[in-house]
C-alpha cells in the first residue's frame, strides 16, 4: 500500500514539474518524506527479520540472495577463530551464513550437507 502512495506522489510531482516547470516547497517535502518512508519500509524492516534455514535454503535477513542447498557443496567446520558458520558453494566460493559457530552441525544436518 505504501509503495503505491509513494509512486502516486512522485507521479503527481513529476507531472506538475513538467506542466508548470516549477517545484513547490510543500511538494518537495512530500516527495522527501514519501521516499524516506518507502526506503524504510523496503530495506529497514527486511534487515530485522529473522535468519532462518530450512531444507530448501538458508534465508538471509538482508536483501541479498538466499543460499540454496543445491548450490552448497559443504558446511565448513568452525575453528577456534570462527565468528559465523560459513558454507562452501559448488563453485568454490565461501559465503557467511550469519549463524553462530555452535550451529554448524545443526545447519549441516538441516541441509543434508557434510561438515568439513
* pLDDT given for residue 1 in this prediction: 52
Collapse the DSSP code of 77 into the 3-class scheme (helix H, G, I; strand E, B; otherwise coil) and give the result.
coil
Among 84, 45, 38, smallest CA distance to 61 is for 45
* pLDDT given for residue 109 in this prediction: 96
pTM: 0.58
- Which is more confidently placed, 61 or 44? 61
Q: Residue 90's pLDDT band (boundaries 50, 70, 90)?
A: very high
Average pLDDT over residues 61-83: 88
Among 4, 8, 6, smallest CA distance to 33 is for 6
Q: Which three cell numbers stand for residue 20?
A: 508548470
Q: Which three cell numbers stand for residue 85?
A: 558458520
Q: Does the pLDDT at position 111 exceed 70?
A: yes
Amino acid at each position: 500500500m505504501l509503495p503505491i502512495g509513494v509512486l502516486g506522489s512522485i507521479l503527481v510531482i513529476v507531472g506538475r514539474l513538467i506542466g508548470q516547470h516549477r517545484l513547490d516547497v510543500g511538494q518537495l517535502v512530500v516527495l522527501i518524506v514519501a521516499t524516506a518512508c518507502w526506503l524504510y519500509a523496503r530495506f529497514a524492516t527486511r534487515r530485522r527479520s529473522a535468519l532462518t534455514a530450512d531444507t530448501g535454503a538458508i534465508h538471509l535477513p538482508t536483501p541479498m540472495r538466499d543460499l540454496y542447498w543445491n548450490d552448497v557443496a559443504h558446511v565448513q567446520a568452525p575453528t577456534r577463530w570462527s565468528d559465523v558458520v560459513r558454507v562452501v558453494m559448488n563453485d568454490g566460493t565461501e559465503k557467511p551464513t550469519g549463524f553462530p559457530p555452535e550451529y554448524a552441525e545443526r545447519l549441516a544436518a538441516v541441509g543434508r550437507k557434510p561438515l568439513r
